Chain A
C-alpha cells in the first residue's frame, strides 16, 4: 500500500482559527504520509505540525466556495481549519481520515522518524529487562529469573523473563500458565524490602463452572507465600457477582480451600466500555460552553471519572497498607490481568517505593508494569475521547493511572521527581507518538515488528537534558516514606492541566512553572557547591 494513494489532495490554502494557547496561522496546508503541515512561510514559529495519528475525529462543513474542517485530536486539542475550495476541503478531510486510521504498525510514523539527536537501540540499556530482578536479588535469594517464556510460547502477553519463586521449576510455571487466562501465571512484581512482603499479579484462574483446580498453580502461590511471610491476600478487581459470571465462561477466582493462607477480597474497579464512556462524557462536559455553574458539578459527577480515580487510589492504598502495615502478601488480578490489575500494582508501588518516584524509576515502573507486562496499548489507545462510532477495545486505563499519579503529586508536591509535564507527555505519547515505546499490545508483537531496533525510544528522548525543565519537578526532595494519599472527595480534583488544557489560557500555569524553576535555579547559582 502506498500512502500517496490515500492523499487525494496534498496541498491547499488554509486558515487555522485561533484557540486558547493556539495562535492563528494562515498559509499553505500540506498533507504528507504522516503529518499535516500548515506553514505561513519559512520556518515561522507558529507553524502547525500535526501528527496525523493524533487525529481522533474529522468533521467537515461546507460554506459556499470554502469549507471548514474540525480536527479533534487524541490529546484533546480541537483545531479548526478554514480551507479554500470546496473540493479541496472534502479531499483533505478524506485524506486525513484515511491516513489517521491506518492500522499497520510497521508503516506507522515511528518506523520513519529519525531525529538527529538520538541513536537507535539506546533504550535497551536504559531499562534492561533483568534490572528489576537484579534489584530483588540484592535483597533476597528467594526468587529467580525464569526464561520459560523466552519464545513467548507459555504466555503471549508476558515478556521473555519473569521473576518467580526460586523453588519453582519452569515446568510448574508452564502448567500453572495453562490454568490461567492467556497464560498469565502469578509472577512477582514488587518486593517490599522493608518487611519482605511481596506483590504478585496474574490473570484469573480458569476455574470454570465445575471448579477445576491446578496443583502446580497452588504450589506456585504456596511457594510465593512462604517467601513473603505466610499470610496472603488475593485482591480480585471484580465483584463477587462478576466472578460468578466469569465462572460460567470458564474463568473464576482462587478457591479458599485450594489456596491455604490466602484470603480473598473483591474490590470492583470499572474497566472497558464503561470507563471509556466515562472519559468521553468528561471531555464532553469540559468542552460544553452551554453548561451553567448550577449544573456543572452534577454533570461532573455524572461522568463518574473522579469516582473511578477515588476507587483506584483506594484499592492501591488497601494493597499498600496490607503489605506495609499488616505484612500481607498481595496477589492482584481481575480477568485478563492486563488492565486494572496493572493500575493497582503500579500505583501501589508508587505509594510504597521511593525508587519509583524518580524520573528514571518512574520510567522503569512504566516499562515493567505497563509495557512489558502486556497492557494492550494499541487496542486501548486506538481512539481517544472524540472518535465517533462504537469503541471496540478502547479504554483509558493508562490515563486513569496518570490521573491517580497526578493526584498523588498534588498531595505530595515535593515527593515526585517528575512534574505534570511528564504525565501530559506520557498521555500524548500513549495515544499518538513518533516513538515506538507504546506501539503494539505486547512484547511479543514488538519483537515481531522489530520495534526496538527500528524505532526510537520515548525514554531516550525524554531523558535529554533539554527536556528537564518541562518534565522535572524542580522542588523534588527524596522522601523515603510511603505516600498515603487522602481519598476523600475534598482532596481529589479534576486534573485541569489535562482535561481543561485546551479550553483555558495556558499562560498563568506556565508562568508559575517557570517561576518555580527560577527560584530553585537561583538557589543553585548562589550556592555553586
Chain B
C-alpha cells in the first residue's frame, strides 16, 4: 500500500523526496519500563500507522491525521530521534526513529497533514464504509429533531414552529427550524434578535409537558450600561406567559458576574431586572473557553507524569481546576432542572454568544429532567439538538481545520464528562455505557463522519455534508449492542423522572475520569470489564430462552396439549409448570431493550438506519413481544408459587429481604403488558 499512498501524499504535500515507510522505529511504553516495540511506521493520506514486527500478532496502531493535536521532535540521542505525537483523544505515541533525517521528514509531513486547510482534506470525504446511497441517506434521518420536539409536546397552544429563520435570514448560526412562543410575532423575534449578540434570539430548547415550564436559550443582550429593547422585553414576556403556571421566569447567565459586567463596556452585558417584567436574574459562574483550555492542558500534564506520587497527582489535579469546572457545569444544570421540574418555572439561559456554556448547561439540565435523553437514541438526539443544530462551533472548538488555536476548547468534552460523572452516581439510569461516551468524543475529533463538521447548520448545508459524508449516529446505532449498559432498566426508579444528584457536601462524588484521559494506558484501567461480562450473560440468557421456547413449541406439537391447560397445574415439581415458570423471567430481559426509548420511535424494529446485521436481533425481539401475553398470564401464577415457598420455612419473618427482592418482577411483567 505504501507506494500508492506515497504518491497521494506527495501530491497533497508537494514533498520533494519520495518515501513509503520508515523501518526499525521503536514505540516506547510511556508508563512502564517495558521493552519498546520494534516496527514500521507508515504515513498514508489519512493515517499514521505503526505495525509491530512481531510476526504472530503484527499489532497495528492507527491514528487519523485529524486526531493529532501536537507533534514534538526531541533532541536526537544515541538510540535515535524521539518523536512525540499527542492526540486529541488523549493517546500519546512516543516513537524513536533511527535516522534523524527520516524523523525530520515524518515530522514535517505530519505538521502539514495534522493541519488540513480545506474541508475536502478531511477523512469523512474519503471514508467509505461500503453502504449504498440509500443506506447512507437513511443514516442521516435517524435523528429527527421535528420528531423530538413533537415528543416533548410541541407544537401546542403555547409554542409553535416558526419559519422566521427560513434561509437563515435572522440568525445564520441557528437552525431553520426554531420553536418560539405563539405570541411572539416575527416582528418581536427580529427585534429581539437585533438586541442579542450574533442575533441569537431566545428560542425553545426543552419543554416540560408536566409543568409547562421550558428551557430557552439565547446569547447575551446588547444592553451595555443602559440600552433597552422593547421587542426583547416582549420576547421574554411571551416566554414567561407560555407557562401560565408561574408568574415569573429565571434568566440564567452562566458566566461569572465579573465577565458579564466587563461585557457591558463593549455594549453587551446582561438583563436588567428592572427593565424586564417578572424575571429573576441569576449568575452561575462557569469560566470561559480559555480558562477551560488551559485547565485541560494542566490536567493532561498530570496524566503524563511518570510514576507520580499520590500527592503529585492529587495536587496537580486540584491545581488544574478541572473537576471544579465540571462541578460548576453540573451545578448549573441541577439549578435549571430544579426550576423546571420542581418550581415549574421557565428558564432562559445564555452566556456570551450562547453556543458553549449555554449548550453545556441546557443539555445537562435536559438530561437530568428527561429519561429519554438517558437512552442511546435520546442521547444522540440531545447532542444533535443542543449542540449541532444550535450552532456549537465544532470546527473551531475542536480544530478540524487549521485555525486560531485560541478558539480551541474542550467544551463538549466537559459535557461528556458531566454525563460520565452522572453515570457513576446513577449506575442504572443510563441506557448507554462509558464506551459510548468515549467513542463519541473520539469521533468529534476524528472527522471520520460528517456529523460534527462545520460551525453551523448553514455551513453544513452549503457544503452538502449529508450528500457527501456518513452520519456517526447511524454508525453508532448499528453497533448499539457494544454501547449498552447492562445495568440499565427503563422501568427503574433511577431512570424514571428527574435525576437528583446529591447537593452539598458532594465534592467527593467528582472523580478523575481515567477511562477517558488515561484510556490508552491499559494497565491503569480495571483489568476486567463488568459491562462486557454482563452483556455476555444477558445474551446467553436470551439465547437459552429462545431455545427453550422452540423446545416448548415442539413439545406442544408432540403432545398436542394446549398451553392453557397448565394454569390448573400448580404443583411446583410438575414438568408443565416448570416451563412457564422459566419463561416468566423473560419480560424483564426483553422489556428493557424493547422499551429502552420509552417511545415508539426508538424501537429498533422501526429504525430506518438498521443494516442487515441487525435483522436477527430485531427478529428475536419481535418473538419476545409476541410471547408477552402468555407470560403475563403465567407470571401471576409464578408469584403465587414464590410466595408459598418463601413463607413456609419460618413464618415469613426471617426472609423479608429475599421476598421483596423477588416480588417486583412478576408484578412488573403484568404492569408492562397490561
Hey, which chain B residues are within 8 Å of A310, CB to CB? Answer: 309-310
Hey, which chain B residues are within 8 Å of A508, CB to CB? Answer: 425-429, 494
Expressed in whole angstroms, the Cα–Cα distance for A483 and B337 within the complex equals 44
Tell me whether A475 and B505 are in contact (CB under 8 A).
Answer: no
Expressed in whole angstroms, the Cα–Cα distance for A403 and B541 within the complex equals 34
Among A159-167, A226-234, A290-298, A334-342, the stretch in contact with B: A290-298
The verdict on A475 contacting B321 (CB below 8 Å), with A301-B311, A469-B658, A489-B308 known, is: no
Tell me whether B548 and A489 are in contact (CB under 8 A).
Answer: no
A509 at the interface (CB under 8 A from B): yes
Can you list, as one digit per residue, whether each of A101-144 has a CB less than 8 Å from chain B (1) or not (0)? 00000000000000001000000000000000000000000000
B492 at the interface (CB under 8 A from A): yes
Expressed in whole angstroms, the Cα–Cα distance for A63 and B552 within the complex equals 71
Expressed in whole angstroms, the Cα–Cα distance for A507 and B315 within the complex equals 32
Looking at the complex, which one of B31, B507, B582 makes contact with A292 (CB distance below 8 Å)? B507
Tell me whether B310 and A289 are in contact (CB under 8 A).
Answer: no
A505 at the interface (CB under 8 A from B): yes
Looking at the complex, which one of A489, A500, A527 makes contact with B313 (CB distance below 8 Å)? A489
Hey, which chain A residues are within 8 Å of B523, CB to CB? Answer: 486, 488
> Min CB distance, B498 to chain A, in Å?
14
Q: How many residues of B contact A (CB 8 A)?
A: 68
Looking at the complex, which one of A466, A477, A493, A512 makes contact with B657 (CB distance below 8 Å)? A466
Tell me whether B541 and A523 are in contact (CB under 8 A).
Answer: yes
Tell me whether B31 and A293 are in contact (CB under 8 A).
Answer: no
Looking at the complex, which one of A289, A504, A514, A522 makes contact with B541 (CB distance below 8 Å)? A522
> Min CB distance, B548 to chain A, in Å?
7
In the complex, the chain B residue whose C-beta lies closest to that of A307 is B310
Can you list, as one digit per residue, whether each of A457-493 has a CB less than 8 Å from chain B (1) or not (0)? 0000000001001000001010000010010111111
B530 at the interface (CB under 8 A from A): yes
Tell me whether B537 and A504 are in contact (CB under 8 A).
Answer: no
Among B213-221, B473-481, B510-518, the stretch in contact with A: B510-518
> Min CB distance, B536 to chain A, in Å?
9
Looking at the complex, which one of B314, B509, B548, B665 makes contact with A300 (CB distance below 8 Å)? B314
Expressed in whole angstroms, the Cα–Cα distance for A232 and B657 within the complex equals 51
Can you list, as one digit per residue, whether each of A514-527 has a CB less than 8 Å from chain B (1) or not (0)? 11111110110111
Tell me whether A525 and B582 are in contact (CB under 8 A).
Answer: yes
Tell me whether B327 and A301 are in contact (CB under 8 A).
Answer: no
B261 at the interface (CB under 8 A from A): no
> Min CB distance, A129 to chain B, in Å?
32
B556 at the interface (CB under 8 A from A): no
Expressed in whole angstroms, the Cα–Cα distance for A477 and B321 within the complex equals 40
Q: Show 26 residue pairs from A and B whose CB-CB distance is below 8 angstroms, ordered by the A residue.
A: A287-B505, A289-B504, A293-B327, A297-B314, A301-B314, A410-B526, A411-B527, A413-B526, A466-B658, A483-B527, A486-B524, A489-B308, A489-B309, A489-B310, A490-B303, A490-B313, A490-B514, A491-B524, A492-B310, A508-B429, A511-B427, A515-B487, A517-B661, A519-B537, A523-B538, A523-B541
Interface residues of B (CB under 8 A from A): 31, 303, 307-315, 317-318, 321, 323-324, 327, 425-429, 486-487, 489, 492-494, 502, 504-512, 514, 518, 521, 523-530, 533-534, 537-538, 540-541, 544-545, 548, 582, 585, 588-589, 654-655, 657-658, 661, 665
List 14 other contacts, CB 8 Å, given A414-B528, A526-B541.
A293-B324, A301-B314, A412-B528, A413-B530, A488-B521, A500-B508, A504-B509, A512-B428, A515-B428, A520-B534, A522-B541, A526-B545, A526-B582, A527-B541
Interface residues of A (CB under 8 A from B): 20, 117, 286-298, 300-301, 304, 306-307, 310, 410-415, 466, 469, 475, 477, 483, 486, 488-494, 496, 500, 503-505, 507-509, 511-512, 514-520, 522-523, 525-528
Pairs A-B, 6 closest by C-beta atoms: A489-B313, A297-B318, A512-B427, A301-B314, A296-B507, A526-B544
